[in-house]
Amino acid sequence: MHASRILACLPFFALTTTASAVTLSVQEQKIVSAVDAGQTRSVALLQRLVEQNSGTHNPQGVEAVARMLTPEFEALGFRVQWKPLPQTGRAGHLIATHAGSGKGKRLLLIGHLDTVFEADSPFQGFRREGARAIGPGVGDDKGGDVVMLAALRAMQAAGTLRDADIEVVLTGDEEDVGSPLDVARADLVNSGKRADVALDFENLAHENGRDMGSIARRSSNTWTLTTHGKSGHSSTIFSTSAGDGAIFELVRILDAFRNELPEANLTFNVGLLGGGQRATFDAGKSHVTADGKDNIIPPIAVARGDFRTLSAEQTRRVREKMQAIVARHLPQTDAVLEVEEHYPPMAPTAGSRALLAQLNAVNRDLGLAEMGELDPLKRGAGDIAFVATDVDGLIGMGVSGAGSHAPGESADLDSIPRQAKRAAILMSRLALTPR
């Protein structure tokens, strides 16, 4: 249903992208000028945001970033709400709403306040090297939040924001979502049900030096495997009475995963394992403690990893295949596989492709190169996937950069105005398109 809503706007799209009409309107020219005039302000805001640590597990820092952004949205006529979520173990979300005419497409803009760099990370602060800015979260996603605001300010300057119906959700736990998941993402999901179009302001993707459009994201699921066997002297292993032991059972399952699971758009990984006389994960399941002896058949082994899919149907199918593999036990062994579905997939749709076509119409009118469709294997999981069953959308409306999630993360400052112009003109046209 949501795909047909987006496709319904194609007559407007066709009128604005014919060979005889590939110029910007007067208001759109004002948008371009306003974005360029605001670049110094945008970079200054980016520096302030980056200098405030907001690691996901630093709730005070996340809320501090929200406080910095609140007056920016309020100055544009948005009603801003800070939604604390202590019950999820995370800081909360910033939600900003702009009431327009109620006639055009309802837009949902998605970004996030947190970064992967916690308060104890040695990578802190902001520095500039020419057109490159370096700092924690400078690209993912504080640069995206700055692009979003630059676009909205330009729309206000050109008069196109007045009638636009826009809801902004900046989550405080995108990098490590809180629990329970249904509570942590309830506000975002509800926003998606109200929207006609979703725009995700995470990093712009590149391929061979070319800006790329993105209409799909894969899921993020974790799995934990525990195998058990009969302990005893190693001289009796593989006998009828002793069986094969827990570690051989673990290896059998992992080898079968490697040989039987591969298919298009699926990746799966083993990130951690251990086994022996004893083997246990810590509370966060990021460390494993194991001990044993070379002459004792191991009674336990554990492993943990992830798998990523492009559709809910693929998630279901892969999960069932994994469980079937686990069930084929070696002699005198047993195994249990637990799967946690964290981020759902965002499968490509006809409606999202129509949105990318509209964005490419904006590119042509701006004199920018057409953006091809990015292979979803080159994009990680993200918040827009939580609304993907209700609304079509585009991913990667934020800054261009490099090294996300690693010390030295950087952003191309010249991409801020380019991306803000694209976003502002696209949003202005969508706001004029009847629902």
Q: What is the pLDDT of residues 207-227, one digit of tens each?
A: 999 999 999 999 999 999 999
Shared domain for 59 and 187, answered yes or no, is yes
User: Tell me, what's the pLDDT at 19?
Assistant: 37
Amino acid at 31: I
Angle at Cα 202 formed by Cα 197 and Cα 205, nearest 5°?
100
Shared domain for 274 and 166, answered yes or no, is no
Shared domain for 333 and 365, answered yes or no, is no
Shared domain for 316 and 403, answered yes or no, is no
Instruction: Return the axis-axis angle of helices 39-51 and 59-74, rounded to nearest 10°.
Output: 160
Q: Find out whether 406 and 212 touch, Cβ atoms under 8 Å.
A: no
Q: Find out whether 115 and 174 touch, Cβ atoms under 8 Å.
A: no
Shared domain for 258 and 320, answered yes or no, is yes
Dihedral-angle region of residue 403 (phi above 0 means left; psi in -120 to 50 means alpha; beta otherwise):
left
- Separation of alpha carbons 177 and 174, rounded Å: 5
Give the strands of the sheet with 300-308, arranged side by side: 267-276, 300-308, 220-229, 333-343
Q: Which domain holds residue 13?
A: 2-217+346-432
User: Tell me, what's the pLDDT at 284?
Assistant: 84
CATH of the domain at 416: 3.40.630.10
CA within 13 Å, CB half, 152: 27
Cis bond upstream, residue 180 (ω within 30): yes
- 109 membership: H or E segment, kind and range: strand 106-112
Reported as a single tens digit per residue, the pLDDT across 61-118 is: 999 999 999 999 999 999 999 999 999 999 999 999 999 999 999 999 999 999 999 9
Shared domain for 355 and 335, answered yes or no, is no
Q: Which of 343, 358, 390 is the last residue of a domain?
A: 343
- What is the reported pTM? 0.88
What domain count does the chain have? 2
Candidates 152, 158, 178, 190; CA nearest to 72 is: 152
Q: Which of 293, 315, 343 is the last residue of a domain?
A: 343
Per-residue b or e along 381-406, where b marks 16 or more CB atoms closer than 10 Å to that residue's CB = bbbbbbbbbbbbbbbbbbbbbeebee
Shared domain for 50 and 9, answered yes or no, is yes
- Chain-centre distance for alpha carbon 53: 20
- Separation of alpha carbons 253 and 324, rounded Å: 10
CATH of the domain at 225: 3.30.70.360
Shared domain for 419 and 300, answered yes or no, is no
Shared domain for 278 and 363, answered yes or no, is no
User: Tell me, what's the pLDDT at 7?
Assistant: 43
Weakly modelled stretches of the chain, pLDDT under 70: 1-22
Shared domain for 58 and 106, answered yes or no, is yes
Candidates 171, 137, 132, 159; CA nearest to 34 is: 159
Q: Which of 313, 343, 373 is the last residue of a domain?
A: 343
Shared domain for 82 and 63, answered yes or no, is yes
| Tokens coding 102 | 């109620």
Shared domain for 80 and 191, answered yes or no, is yes
